[in-house]
Amino acid sequence: MTERAVIERVGRRRLWPRSFALRAALAAAGVVLLVCVLGFGWGFLRAQEALRAQIDISVRAEAESFVSDFEAHGAQGLAEAVVLHTRRRGATRVVLQTLGGQRLAGQLPGAPAALRGYATLYPPEGGTWRAVGALLPGGLNLIVAADLEATDRTAAAMAGTLPAAGALAGLAALALGFATARQLERRLHSVTAAAQAVMAGDLTRRLPLEGGGDEFDQLVGTINTMLARIEELVRDMRQVTDDIAHDLRSPLSRLRQKLEAALARARDPGADAETLAAATAELDAVLATFSSLLRIARAEAGLRGTPPQPVALSDLVAQMVETYAAVAEEQGQSLEAEVAGGLAVAGDAALLRQAMANLIENALLHGGPGVRVRVALRQEAGAPVLEVSDNGTGIPPEEHDKVTRRFYRLDRSRNTPGTGLGLALVQAVAQLHGATLRLADAAPGLRVTIMFPNAG
């Protein structure tokens, strides 16, 4: 649905509130009322039924007492009792008539010509009566009846509490709904406001927590963690962009100066060749930086769908040690190794080789003259652990976290060749393999440990 369509729809249905909680409250109130109305009907019928059964019993008892009058005092006695009863104007009416319907004593409007057993009467002047009739010797018919209007009113009054309670419950549901809707609106509004601030560029903005630990707070907590992560990523990206620009500026401007100077000079094949060679070296360094950055980016992006390949880690480490042992010896340094055989990990062999090379080169380059480098690969708790340590100058513990950042180099390394990307790549490669990278003081020197995850 387009935005416009949404607005039009909302406009058309303005009577029906947009607030979810309010709609829920209205629906709940409606259901409560409906249930109460149905409950009223059902309750009325049940009460009416029970009360009418009661009436049946009482008219029958009354008829029976008249019959005993008849048995004790004969027709005359019965007629007198009926007259007396009628004069008293009680709740019941009674009539004594012949079987043909001719009235002898008492009065019951709408009485049938003859009645035996129960009947419901609807007299012409209105109302409903419940009657019971008895046939007596001598062609007599006695009918006793009670008005049902009063009992029906009682039944209605009894059942009537239901819709009243329902109305109250409905009102309560509505009030609760309103309160919930306001509360929900308030909290959602604060989320919307914070989200808008973030969109407007304030990446430090966080959503307010109520502190109750409810579902809302849990959601807000998750969103805040996400915002913190986004902020971190954006800050990292800005930092990296800054660093790249900063780092590549000097070699490129040096290159430009050299070329400009060469251009201003009189042409001389010897000097030109020297300039070109220097320029090429400068460009090589720039290109090396770019390929390191790309390698880090590749490692950080993950394996991108290509499944991790099994890497014979023991063989890989042994090869790297062999390659660098000769280099170390030439420089008057030493490289010794203790490599457990048969260890393997799942991942990317080229990246692992590059990470190894970076660590050994760091030890040889930054460790100082005559440094002794030790490479160890062993199995710990079922998982491979790779360790590269040296007895050189080391890195102060407070710098351990920083040196894995891109372009970060210790001040003392300013004049040592390098880009500051070596440990950043090691970090990214470790992360790619689910491994933990740890820098520690080897007293003296640096010990770098990569703990791979348990393969099983």
Give the helix/strand (H/E) hosting 52. Answer: helix 20-88
How far apart, in whole angstroms, are the C-alpha atoms of residue 449 and residue 386? 6
Cβ 386 to ligand ADP shortest distance, Å: 15
Kindly identify the residues of this chain, within the stretch 410-439, that bind Mg ion according to CB under 5 A: 418, 422
Q: Is 122 helix (H, G, I), strand (E, B) or coil?
A: coil
Q: Tell which residue, 421, 405, 338, has the closest CA to residue 376.
A: 338
Nearer to Mg ion by Cβ, of 216 and 408: the residue is 408
Partner whose binding site includes residue 446, from ligand ADP, Mg ion, none (CB under 5 to 8 Å by kind): ligand ADP
Site size with ligand ADP, rule: CB under 6 A: 22
Q: What CA–CA distances, in Å, run from 287 to 3, 156, 274, 419?
A: 49, 94, 20, 11
Nearer to Mg ion (CB atom), residue 251 or residue 418: 418
CB of 272 vs Mg ion, minimal distance in Å: 34
Q: CB of 377: closest distance to Mg ion in angstroms?
A: 20
Nearest approach in angstroms of CB 239 to ligand ADP is 15
Listed in sequence order, the residues at least 6 apart from 67 whose beta carbon sits closer than 8 Å to its beta carbon are 134, 136, 142
Site string for ligand ADP, 336-365 (x = CB under 6 A): ----------------------x---xx--
Question: In one letter, which amino acid is 324?
Answer: Y
When the beta carbons of 100 and 417 are compared against Mg ion, the nearer one is 417
Q: Which is nearer to Mg ion, 362 or 427 (CB)?
A: 362
390 binds ligand ADP (CB under 6 A): yes
Q: Which of 130, 295, 409, 433 binds ligand ADP (CB under 6 A)?
A: 409
Instruction: Report the partner that residue 395 touches, choosing among Mg ion, ligand ADP, none (CB closer than 5 to 8 A by kind).
Output: ligand ADP
Would you count residue 420 as binding ligand ADP (CB under 6 A)?
yes
Q: What is the closest distance, in whole angstroms, from the C-beta atom of residue 418 to ligand ADP in the complex?
A: 3
Q: Which of 78, 374, 392, 428 binds ligand ADP (CB under 6 A)?
A: 392
Among 140, 8, 126, CA closest to 66: 140
CB of 401 to ligand ADP, least distance (A): 12
First to last CA, the chain: 49
Look at residue 403 and give the partner it binds from Mg ion, ligand ADP, none, a contact being a CB closer than 5 to 8 Å depending on partner kind.
ligand ADP
Among ligand ADP, Mg ion, none, the one that 133 touches (CB under a kind-dependent 5 to 8 A) is none
- Whether the bond between 453 and the residue before it is cis, its omega within 30 degrees of 0, is no
Question: Is the Cβ–Cβ distance between 187 and 216 less than 8 Å?
Answer: yes
Between CA 416 and CA 425, with CA 419 as vertex, the angle to 5 degrees is 125
Angle at 259 between CA 267 and CA 288, to 5 degrees: 135
Alpha-carbon torsion angle 81, 86, 89, 93, nearest 10: 100
Residue in 180, 379, 393, 431 binding ligand ADP, rule: CB under 6 A: 393
Residue 328 in contact with ligand ADP, rule: CB under 6 A: no
DSSP secondary structure letter of residue 103: E
| Residue 387 lies near ligand ADP (rule: CB under 6 A) | no
Token representation of residue 452 = 């791979």
Which positions ≥6 away from 251 have C-beta within 8 Å?
282, 285, 286
User: Contact at 8 Å (CB) between 178 and 22?
Assistant: yes
Q: Which of 289, 362, 427, 449 binds Mg ion (CB under 5 A)?
A: 362
- Does residue number 419 form part of the binding site for ligand ADP (CB under 6 A)? yes
In angstroms, what is the minimal distance from the CB of 424 to ligand ADP?
6
User: Under 8 Å CB-to-CB from 47, ≥6 apart: which residues?
Assistant: 154, 155, 158, 159
CA pair distance 211, 283, nearest whole angstrom: 56
Interface region with ligand ADP, contact rule CB under 6 A, candidates 175-183, 192-200, 342-350, 412-420: 412-420
Mark the segment that binds ligand ADP (CB under 6 A) among 195-203, 248-256, 281-289, 419-427: 419-427
384 binds ligand ADP (CB under 6 A): no
Sheet holding 129-136, edge to edge: 103-106, 92-98, 140-147, 129-136, 117-121
Q: Report the DSSP beta bridge partners of residue 347.
A: 309
Give the amino acid at 190. S
Q: By CB under 6 A, tell whether 422 contacts ligand ADP.
A: yes
Nearer residue to ligand ADP within complex by CB, 197 or 244: 244
In angstroms, give the least distance from the CB of 435 to Mg ion. Answer: 19
Q: Which is nearer to ligand ADP, 151 or 358 (CB)?
A: 358
- Tell me the three state secondary structure of residue 177: helix
Residues that bind ligand ADP (CB under 6 A): 358, 362-363, 366-367, 390, 392-395, 403, 409-410, 413, 418-424, 446
Residues that bind Mg ion (CB under 5 A): 362, 418, 422
